[in-house]
Amino acid sequence: AQSVTQLGSHVSVSEGALVLLRCNYSSSVPPYLFWYVQYPNQGLQLLLKYTSAATLVKGINGFEAEFKKSETSFHLTKPSAHMSDAAEYFCAVSVRKGLAGNQFYFGTGTSLTVIP
C-alpha cells in the first residue's frame, strides 16, 4: 500500500530561518514524489517533484527536497524563510496502477507560519 506521512501539521519559523517540512512515504513500488503548495483560497501549485533522476531536487521559490531511499523520506527545505512562504504544504506520492494509470496519495498537509 502507498501512503504519505507529514510530521507536524503546523510549523512556525522566524523570517530568515531555515524551513524544514518533513515527509515520509511508504510505497511498494518506486515512488514518484511531489511537493505542492496551497496559498490561502487558492488551488495547489507544484513546488517540485522527484522522478528518479537526481536525488536532490530544486523547485520554485528557493525550495528544495532530497530523496533518501534508506530513510523513505522526501523532506522539503528552504535556507531562509520569507513572509510569502506562509501557506499549506502537501507531500504526495504517485504510483502507476497498471492500465488504470497514475494514482496520487497526499499527506495531510503542513501549515507553515512565518513570524516577522
Partner 1 sequence: EAQVTQNPRYLITVTGKKLTVTCSQNMNHEYMSWYRQDPGLGLRQIYYSMNVEVTDKGDVPEGYKVSRKEKRNFPLILESPSPNQTSLYFCASSLSGRLIGETQYFGPGTRLLVL
Q: According to the binding rule CB under 8 A, does residue 34 interact with partner 1?
A: yes
Subset of residues 43 to 62 that bind partner 1, contact rule: CB under 8 A:
43-46, 49-52
Q: According to the binding rule CB under 8 A, does residue 102 interact with partner 1?
A: yes
- Shortest approach of partner 1 to residue 116 CB, angstroms? 26
Query: What is the distance between the alpha carbons of residues 44 and 52, in angstroms, rounded to a whole number?
Result: 23
Q: According to the binding rule CB under 8 A, does residue 35 interact with partner 1?
A: no
DSSP-assigned letters across all residues of 70-97: GGTEEEEEESS--GGG-EEEEEEEEEE-
Radius of gyration of the chain (CA): 14
Binding positions for partner 1, rule: CB under 8 A = 6, 9, 32, 34, 36, 41-46, 49-52, 90, 92, 94, 96, 100-104, 106-109
